[in-house]
A and B are shown apart, each in its own frame.
Chain A
Amino acid sequence: MSEQPFTGTLRLVFANAMSEQPVLTVSRLSSSFGSTCDYCKNSKAQLDRNVCPVCGTIHALREVSIEVFSGEILGIVGESGSGKSTLMRCICFDQRASAGSVTTELVDQGKTNLLECSAQQKRAIRNTLFGMVYQNPWLGLRMDFSAISNIAEQMIASGNRNVKEMRERSLYLLDKVNIPLRRAGDAPREFSGGMQQRVQIAKALSNNPPILLLDEVTTGLDLSVQATVLDLILSLRRDLNVSMIVVSHDLAVIRMLADRTSVMLDGKIIEHGLTDQIMEDPQHPYTQQLVHSLL
Chain B
Amino acid sequence: MMAERITAEYVRAEQAQVEQTETGQMRQLYNFAFFDEGSKREIRRAVLKAIAIPGYQVPFASREMPIGRGWGTGGLQLTLALIGSDDVLKVIDQGHDGSVNAVSIKKLVVATTGVRVTESSSEATLIQSRHRIPEVPLSREQVLVLQVPTPEPLREIEAHEQVTRRLHAEADYTGAWLGLFEQITRFGSTTTSADHPVLVNGRYVMAPSPIPRFDNHKLHQAKNLTLFGAGREKKIYAVPPYTDVQSLDFEDYPFIVEDFAGISCRACGADSVYFDELIDADSGEVYYQCNDTNYCLTRQEQTL
A152 & B178 in contact (Cβ 8 Å cutoff): yes
A156 to B252, CA, bound (A): 14
Q: Which of B157, B172, B186, B251 contacts A123 (CB 8 A)?
A: B172
Segment of A83-91, A142-150, A193-201, A203-211 engaged in the interface with chain B = A142-150
- Does A294 reach chain B (CB closer than 8 Å)? no
A148 to B185, CA, bound (A): 8
**Residues of the B chain whose Cβ atoms lie less than 8 Å from the Cβ of A157:** 172, 174
**Residues of the B chain whose Cβ atoms lie less than 8 Å from the Cβ of A148:** 185
A167 & B185 in contact (Cβ 8 Å cutoff): yes
**Residues of the B chain whose Cβ atoms lie less than 8 Å from the Cβ of A156:** 174, 177-178, 181
**Residues of the A chain whose Cβ atoms lie less than 8 Å from the Cβ of B252:** 162-164
**Residues of the A chain whose Cβ atoms lie less than 8 Å from the Cβ of B170:** 119-120, 123
Interface hits, A160-203 → B, CB 8 Å: 161-164, 166-167, 185
- Does A153 reach chain B (CB closer than 8 Å)? yes
**Residues of the A chain whose Cβ atoms lie less than 8 Å from the Cβ of B186:** 146, 185
Q: A60 CB to closest chain B CB, in angstroms?
A: 24
The count of chain B contact residues (Cβ–Cβ below 8 Å) is: 17
- Does B184 reach chain A (CB closer than 8 Å)? yes
Q: Which residue of B lies closest to A149 (CB)?
A: B182
- Does B253 reach chain A (CB closer than 8 Å)? yes
A156 to B177, CA, bound (A): 7
A40 to B252, CA, bound (A): 58
A153 to B186, CA, bound (A): 15
A166 to B178, CA, bound (A): 11
**Residues of the B chain whose Cβ atoms lie less than 8 Å from the Cβ of A123:** 170, 172
Main secondary structure of the interface of A (DSSP, over half): helix
Given contacts A119-B170, A120-B170, contact A145 B178 (CB under 8 A): yes
A162 to B181, CA, bound (A): 10
B184 & A163 in contact (Cβ 8 Å cutoff): yes
Interface string of B164-186 (1 = CB under 8 A from A): 00100011101001100110111
**Residues of the A chain whose Cβ atoms lie less than 8 Å from the Cβ of B184:** 163
Given contacts A152-B181, A185-B185, A185-B186, contact A162 B250 (CB under 8 A): yes
A153 to B259, CA, bound (A): 29
**Residues of the A chain whose Cβ atoms lie less than 8 Å from the Cβ of B251:** 161-163
Q: Which of B172, B181, B253 contacts A149 (CB 8 A)?
A: B181
**Residues of the B chain whose Cβ atoms lie less than 8 Å from the Cβ of A152:** 178, 181
**Residues of the B chain whose Cβ atoms lie less than 8 Å from the Cβ of A167:** 185
Q: A227 CB to closest chain B CB, in angstroms?
A: 31
Q: Which residue of A lies closest to B169 (CB)?
A: A119
Q: A166 CB to closest chain B CB, in angstroms?
A: 7
Q: B118 CB to closest chain A CB, in angstroms?
A: 43
Q: Which residue of A lies closest to B166 (CB)?
A: A119
A145 to B250, CA, bound (A): 18
B interface list, Cβ under 8 A from A: 157, 166, 170-172, 174, 177-178, 181-182, 184-186, 250-253
- Can you name 9 extra interface pairs (CB under 8 A) apart from A119-B166, A146-B186, A149-B182? A119-B170, A120-B171, A142-B157, A142-B178, A146-B182, A148-B185, A153-B174, A156-B174, A166-B181
* 20 A-B pairs whose Cβ atoms sit less than 8 Å apart in the complex: A119-B166, A120-B170, A123-B172, A142-B157, A146-B185, A146-B186, A148-B185, A152-B181, A153-B174, A156-B177, A156-B178, A156-B181, A157-B174, A161-B251, A162-B250, A163-B181, A163-B184, A163-B251, A166-B181, A185-B186
